[in-house]
Amino acid sequence: MKHSHSKPSITRREAICRVAAGAAGCALAGRPGEASATPPTPPPSAKAKSVIQIFLWGGMSHIDTWDPKPKAGSEYMGELSKTVDTNIPGLQLGELFPNLAKQADKFSLIRSMTHRNNGHETAAYLMQTGHTPGERISYPSIGAVFAYFKEREYKGLLPPYIVLTQPQGRFSEEGFLGPKYKPFATGGDPNNPRFEVEGIVARGISDERQRARRELLGRMDPLTRTAAASPAIAAAEEAKRAAYELILGPGKDVFDLSKEKDELRDRYGRHTFGQECLVARRLVENGVPYVVINYPGGWDTHSNHFPTMRRQCPQLDQGLATLLADLHDRGLLDSTIVWCTGEFGRGPKVDWQPPWNGGRNHYGAVFTVLVAGGGFKGGRVVGESDDKAMEVRDRPVYPVDLLGSIYQLAGIDPNAPLPHPMGLDAHVLPLNEPGVKSAGRLTELM
Amino acid sequence: MRSCSAWPAGPSRLFLAVLLCGGMAVADTPTSRPSIHPLFESAEPARPHNRVDDFVFAKFSALNIRPVLCSDEVFVRRAFLDILGVLPTAEEARAFLQDPDRTTKRQRLVEQLLERPEFAEYWAMRWSDILRIKAEFPVNLWPNAAQAYHRWVLESLAANKPYDRFARELLTSSGSNFRVAPVNFYRAIQNRTPDGIAAAVALTFMGTRTDTWPSNQLAGFSAFFAQVGYKPTSEWKEEIVFWDPLGASRMPANVAPGRDNIVTTNRPVGRGVPTNLPPRMAVFPDGRRIALPPDRDPREVLADWLISPNNPWFGRVVVNRIWYWLMGRGIVHEPDDFRPDNPPSHPELLDYLSRQLAGANYDLKHVYRLILTSATYQLSSVPRDTRPEASAAFAAYPIRRLDAEVLIDAINQVTGTSDLYTSPIPEPFTYIPADLRAVAIGDGSITSPFLALFGRTARATGMESERDNRPMPAQWRHLLNSSHIQRKLETGPKLRTIWEGGRSTREVIENLYLAILSRYPTADEVKTVEAHLESAGAAPVASDSRRDGRGGGRTRSDAAQRRRDAWVDVVWALLNSNEFLFRH
């Protein structure tokens, strides 16, 4: 088929190919637009090869953790009024982060993150796409964008965009890029004796039974032998062989934490989050471009706030601090971005009234994001909130600034076009669109 | 002597068919016929059954194609999957295979299936794909309207509404998206400019992509849609589609809340009556110009032109779609890419089917019947000739994977389980009843991880190619090894009744094969399964005792568990066989 005109940046046919059917398949089928259907691969000089995103769904309180304000008084600080000194002079964290305090040279804090949105879905979409929702098109999350741009470069058997262990499910992370760029959610629990990974490590199926099954299937499928010349059957058999490389091959060992020393597993923490951090390290070690840890437990602490913080923060502290130290010790931190945030922070002023009884509400006016590795400098603080952590005092950082910096370090052009099914002009991040605020990328950390 | 399985289309053909079959033994020596795979193929010669075959078979000798008919076992499965989108049950498969009247049973099966309620459900799904029935992104019909629209399509098909009426209602309706369901045709178009509407109409009804048209042709055609108006009401998410000759709905104050402003070439400036009225001349795609009468909705003028037995863009397009849906390849291929430089493989066949449709007052089932009772539809799927010319000549039934919805329904039918289908937006989340099959889901926004993984269409474009049945390793990991499928195998109540019913091993094997592959097992297959059961019973069960925390000696329940696991493995293998996963 010939297209005589080139008015839209991609043709509709080609866009459907890319999005609904998947770029590789179209290229194989020799459809039009073959050359432009594959995205530009990030240059080898890019500092960040992989990303680990720790997402604190529900929105973790910033004043209790990354941005303590002991002088603001108990009306703001509640019962978590103490701070810990870090290994960076002058930098304090909340009292529940003693281990992170010892790794402060490895990460930086953006204490002036802001988007002023207090809705979970909208804020989560903003923080992971950089786009304002409500447009007619639903953008892919940063992980799907990585999967798209790393398509040619990344040859591993493991999916390029992996979520530990449950998907968020509140917006389609693959957006208009289509199902091929959907995150692979492992399911299971790496803190169990056997980490069952959906489709790869099955419950109650030993390798021995797996092999016996495969042999049985080989003896029980006469159509496959009779119709071996069919291209459809041949393609199915090839995909099945690739699936078995992961199910029965060494590829799945990446999920086998018994291959790690007990001492190291203890340091990460014998809880789901700690072991998820260890799996994340093993995944980036194996070249997986984008790993998300959806924190196993919510941070939406309207009520029961302080007990939840006392229960969850020590696990976050232990797992994340060990992850940063371990990545550093293995020389992986230079090539791995770690970033940690929720969709927003929480109201710095404690709500003592019933039914909250000492809770904190959604807060998008200012909150904190941790960034480390992959070209981000450690031991720094960007921006500042006011005395009560209520507003940005200095150097606001907007979602496009944060995401643009991550893309830049990974060699992905934040202005690059994305293939849209309708041929609409879509880009990795919004370009000069009205209402999109930016105060510039995080050059002070890069 | 075996009876002839080639069955006639009517009483007058019976005599002919018998004659042909009788004469065959003399004319065809065994060496001139391809060797037969008895499990999948019939030894009976493939001879034309009806006019459809005359056109198709006429090409075979030049291409040196020797057609082979499929076996009864293949046919019963194929007919159920193609006509209803469901697997035959073990009882249905057994009844068909045991039916002794081999001269008429395939035709009788087709007739029965065309009258079953699943017919409308399955074909409503296909039409909903090309009409883009979806509540949320990117079509945004909203849930109530998506349900109303789907129900209208479903009821139209269940009543076998003549296709000319079906098309006219979609093209010309006006009213509320909740109350006049077919107006949602115009709401399911993302680009609501005259050009965008024209492109959707051309794709849906004329099977042609306007981006392949000369640009002036599109401009003349778009004029028919320059007076389509949309307006909100005070009811939430209600929207009226109407004839709007003055462009009132394009006044800035009249735009539906939550909707982008409708961008048109004749965007009004300032207040009051638009200064730039819609074009008064339009051009049909055949080049004929027409002055649009001021007292008539131009959509009706267009419908009058389009819906005509002589219009080459109407009947041929829909019969070609049906051919594509049943045969896996269009006479014009792809079926939504009619254009002069993409000619039909069998032009006379396309014209014949189109004339048949118009002659039968646009009865779509008449066309289904012509195709499904042809010998062409009954050809074997075993690929003997992989030349592209051979597949374009319909030399063999093309092997293709079950569609996502059909596949999960088949797995659930065999195991007696169900899946959860939801839509996470808008809140409150939408859930549908557990016993509703995936095929019957009206709204494309209501989904499951399985449907997404197996390439269900996103219903964004209305193009047939949006459904993606190409294999991916992730799909195999799911089928071979996911907890989702394993749970169905271990807990499926239908399976339990098969293997815990106190029947002999041989009977259980037979029932499983009938339920899953719609055929009896061969003697070799029975032996393979028996050998597996035996070896599994004798083998150690290390993994399972570890899992349960029970070490040590074997007990009676260990033995029962091992036996159950062995049956689970057998069903697992059958469900993962390409014979199950593919239409063939």
In chain B, which residue's Cα lies nearest the Cα of A206?
B543
Residues of chain B found within 8 Å of residue A22, distances taken between Cβ atoms: 468, 470
Q: Which of residues 154-183 of A touch B (CB under 8 A)?
A: 159, 169-172, 176, 178-180, 182
Residue A370: helix, strand or coil by DSSP? strand
Token pair of B309 as six digits: 């037995």
Of B190, B480, B532, the CB nearest to A247: B480
Distance from C-alpha of B104 to C-alpha of B9, rounded to nearest angstrom: 9
Judge whether A234 is closer than 8 Å to chain B, CB to CB.
Answer: no
* Euclidean distance between CA atoms B86 and B151, whole angstroms: 20
Q: Check residue A367 and report its DSSP letter.
A: E
For A11, which residue in chain B has the nearest alpha carbon?
B211
pLDDT for residue A432: 78
Burial of A92 (0-12, 13-18, 19+ CB in 10 A): middle
Picking from A1, A16, A238, the nearest residue to B461 by CB comes out as: A16
Q: Rounded CA gap, B384 and B396, in Å?
A: 8
* A246: Cβ contacts below 8 Å, ≥ 6 apart: A157, A158, A200, A252, B473, B477
> What digits encode the pLDDT tens for the residues B21-31?
333 333 344 44
Mutating which of A6, A182, A226, A425 best tests the B interface, going by the most B Cβ atoms within 10 A?
Answer: A226
Biggest alpha carbon–alpha carbon distance for chain B: 92
Over residues B357-369, the mean pLDDT reads 98
Residue B293, burial from CB neighbour count under 10 angstroms (0-12, 13-18, 19+)? exposed
- Structure token digits, residue A416: 């690059």
Q: Check CB contact of B527 with chain A, cutoff 8 Å.
A: no
Domain edges within chain A: 50-187+276-445, 202-255
Q: Is B426 on the interface with A (CB under 8 A)?
A: no
DSSP letter at A397 equals: B
Kindly determine whether residue A204 and residue B574, on different chains, have CB atoms separated by under 8 Å.
no
**Alpha-carbon gap, residue B567 to B529, rounded angstroms:** 9
pLDDT exceeds 50 at position B218: yes
Residue A1 in contact with partner chain B when CB distance is under 8 A: yes
Q: Are A309 and A80 in contact (CB under 8 A)?
A: yes
Residues 6+ away with beta carbon under 8 Å from A10: A18, A33, A36, A419, A420, A423
Torsion angles phi and psi, residue B243, rounded to 5: -80, 120
Q: According to the model, what pLDDT value does residue B405 have?
A: 98
Q: With H, G, I as helix, E, B as strand and everything else as coil, classify residue A176.
A: helix
Q: Cα–Cα distance between B113 and A133 in angstroms, integer?
A: 46
pLDDT at B539: 43
Q: What pLDDT shows up at residue B72?
A: 98
Q: Cβ contact (<8 Å) for B478 and A246?
A: no
Label residue B554 by pLDDT band (50, 70, 90): low
pLDDT of residue B549 exceeding 50, the answer is no
Query: Which residues pair with residue A384 across a beta bridge?
Result: A394
Whole-number Å distance between alpha carbons of A178 and A163: 17
Instruction: For residue B509, give how far its alpha carbon lies from the nearest alpha carbon of chain A (Å).
Output: 13
Please name which of B300, B357, B339 lies closest in space to residue B212, comparing C-alpha atoms: B339
CATH for A50-187+276-445, among 3.10.20.90, 3.40.720.10, 3.50.50.60, 3.40.50.850?
A: 3.40.720.10
Q: Which residues of A touch B420 (CB under 8 A)?
A: none
pLDDT in tens, B485-543: 999 999 999 999 988 878 899 999 999 999 999 999 999 999 999 999 998 774 444 44
Between B5 and B195, the more confident residue is: B195
Unique residue bearing structure tokens 């073959």:
A34
Asked if B572 is an interface residue toward chain A (Cβ–Cβ < 8 A), one would say yes
| Three-state secondary structure of B10-79 | CHHHHHHHHHHHHHHHHHCCHHHCCCCCCCCEEEEECCCCCHHHHHHHCCCCCCCCCCEEECHHHHHHHH
Q: Alpha-carbon distance A336 to A244, whole Å? A: 29
Mean pLDDT value across chain B: 87
Query: Could you count the other beta carbons within 10 Å of the beta carbon of residue B185?
Result: 25
Among left, alpha and beta (phi > 0; psi -120 to 50; other), residue A176 is: alpha
C-beta atoms surrounding B89 within 10 Å: 16
Rounded to the nearest 10°, the torsion over CA A71, A74, A78, A79 is 90
Residue range B421-469, pLDDT digits in tens: 988 666 566 778 888 999 999 999 898 989 988 999 989 889 998 898 9
pLDDT in tens, B242-293: 999 988 877 666 555 444 444 343 444 445 555 567 899 999 999 999 999 9
| pLDDT tens, residue order, chain A (446 aa) | 334 343 333 333 333 333 333 333 333 333 332 233 567 788 888 999 999 999 999 999 999 999 999 999 999 999 999 999 999 999 999 999 999 999 999 999 999 999 999 988 889 999 999 998 765 568 999 999 999 999 889 988 899 999 999 887 666 788 888 777 889 999 999 999 999 999 999 888 899 999 999 999 999 999 999 999 999 999 999 999 999 999 998 888 999 999 999 999 999 999 999 999 999 999 999 999 999 999 998 999 999 999 999 999 999 999 999 999 999 999 999 999 999 999 999 999 999 998 899 999 999 999 999 999 999 999 999 999 999 999 999 999 999 999 999 999 999 999 999 988 766 789 999 977 878 899 999 999 99
pLDDT attached to residue B32: 56
What is the predicted pLDDT for the residue at B203?
Answer: 96
User: What's the CA gap between B398 and B400, in Å, rounded?
Assistant: 6
DSSP-derived secondary structure letter, A410: T
Closest-CA distance of chain A to residue B445, Å: 11
Spell A229-253 as b/e; 16+ CB within 10 A means b: ebebbebbbebbebbbebbbeeebe
The sign of the dihedral angle between the CA atoms of A318, A324, A330, A332 is: positive
Comparing CB atoms, the residue among A136, A209, A216 nearest residue B573 is A216
Q: Which site among B37, B193, B255, B468 would you substitute to test the A interface, given the most A Cβ atoms closer than 10 Å to its Cβ?
A: B468
pLDDT at B246: 86
Distance from CA of A192 to the nearest CA of B (A): 12
The complex scores an ipTM of 0.88
- Which of B409, B433, B427 has the alpha carbon at shortest distance from B580? B409
pLDDT on residue A136: 56
Token couple for B324: 């594509």
